[in-house]
Structure 1
């Protein structure tokens, strides 16, 4: 999950995406669980109504505080200057990636897997070009919004910082890692710089759209 904000000193989010300090993104990773995540349920329930983005359907869901989507220890995160996850992948994002993942069930994840890509989506356009070249006509085929990860890009000499000195500072977090054997802490060197969770003067993108 990405929570995106843009720097107030720029006119809008599109303008901010042109600059290295333009956007700030809080990134929350998810792991599969045998139980549903109740925080996600209001969103899950309306996904079938907005499956096709070309329909431009407007829906209303109950307001939920952003803090409910954050992990238990929001003060533990990694930060680096990086790029957008969508073309043109501008080097315009200050990424804050939380150390602790949230969870989602297989049932809930299947709702997201049914979402369709927009007809203006790059992969949809490429698929239609392939249909045209192969069969001489364009089908109304639509692709689902899955496996839409981008290619790996160069590091450009960037550094990754963390907001904490040790991985086992909190006993409860250490217990969490022991219980989740598939999630092992990285062996980073201690003493990295610490940054505030959210850079100042950034506005949530959703507040401007």
Structure 2
């Protein structure tokens, strides 16, 4: 597993703001007319509240929660056509087929609404969330809302109305063929507001399989773009999705509203403010057990050498 360290971090979610009043830090460096992440609260006061995302997950401080059982997915295997759009801050794909997730202590069923991504520069550090201070090249967010709501705006009025499944990416030496349609479509949406049809894709295709989805982290947070609404149940999966360097770099060919290269599309990590971060049973526990085993074996070997 390859991670990249950065001083910037974690997630972003649904793009509900269409104005040019806020921007990412990479845009501030080039143009001073927009407000970067440290000034988002001037645009939307909720961006300065106490339950903001993304965060840095310190694995040794996470709490094991036996209620974080495997998810139940429905419709994730359905193949669909949709529009992929450069919204000036990311690329977004609406999900036009019924697809839901339940279980995992979500409390109720959530339906998929859209997915989008966050990335760095030419495959460099770019995920929104970080793990133990380390940042992956890119992060996928599949956005869901409670099934009983018809509009995302209504779900955002509920403190747990939105559930986002987040996936990290890591650089691989081989091409991920399942991402060919997505990465090829980016050539047609390089400019802001550009869109094209993304054909025959499924959510399962994006996340590869459900077999790597039993190890994950959970916390309560917010959207990662203005208005930063604190209505999100976050699930971040531990196992990253592999893409080769060129597949990661192609996202940096897109352009912001101002025509500059769309790079560094992530919000810096936010204070945890006494929130708890929970983990499912899995690698975080196995890692500790492995370290304990190695320590015991080392002590045993050394004692027999003396």
Task: Give TM-score, length-normalised by structure 1.
Answer: 0.63
**Secondary structure of 1:99 counterpart:** strand
User: 2:217 — aligned with what?
Assistant: 78
User: 1:34 — aligned with what?
Assistant: 173
Q: How many residues align?
A: 148
Change (3 A) 1:90 1:53: same
User: 2:204 — aligned with what?
Assistant: 66
Within 5 Å, give how 1:161-176 maps onto structure 2: 161-164=278-281, 167=284, 169=286
**Secondary structure of 1:61 counterpart:** strand
In 2, distance between residues paired with 1:8 and 1:93?
A: 14
Deviation, structure 1 residue 58: 3.1
User: 1:158 — aligned with what?
Assistant: 275
As a proportion of its length, which structure holds more strand? 2
**Secondary structure of 2:269 counterpart:** coil
CA distances 1:11-58 after superposition (whole Å, capped 9, x unpaired): 411232233211101110011122111121111111101112323x33
Q: What is the RMSD computed on CA atoms of the aligned residues?
A: 2.3
In 2, distance between residues paired with 1:106 and 1:166?
A: 26
In 2, distance between residues paired with 1:26 and 1:64?
A: 15
What are the ranges of 5 or more consecutive residues in structure 2 without an aligned counterpart? Answer: 1-139, 291-306
Stretch moving more, 153-162 or 105-114 = 153-162
User: 2:241 — aligned with what?
Assistant: 102
Deviation, structure 1 residue 168: 5.9
Is the Cα contact below 8 Å between 2:183 and 2:247 reproduced in 1? yes
User: 1:203 — aligned with what?
Assistant: none
Is the Cα contact below 8 Å between 1:77 and 1:96 reproduced in 2? yes
Within 5 Å, give how 1:125-164 maps onto structure 2: 142-164=259-281
Deviation, structure 1 residue 68: 5.0
Change (3 A) 1:33 1:88: same
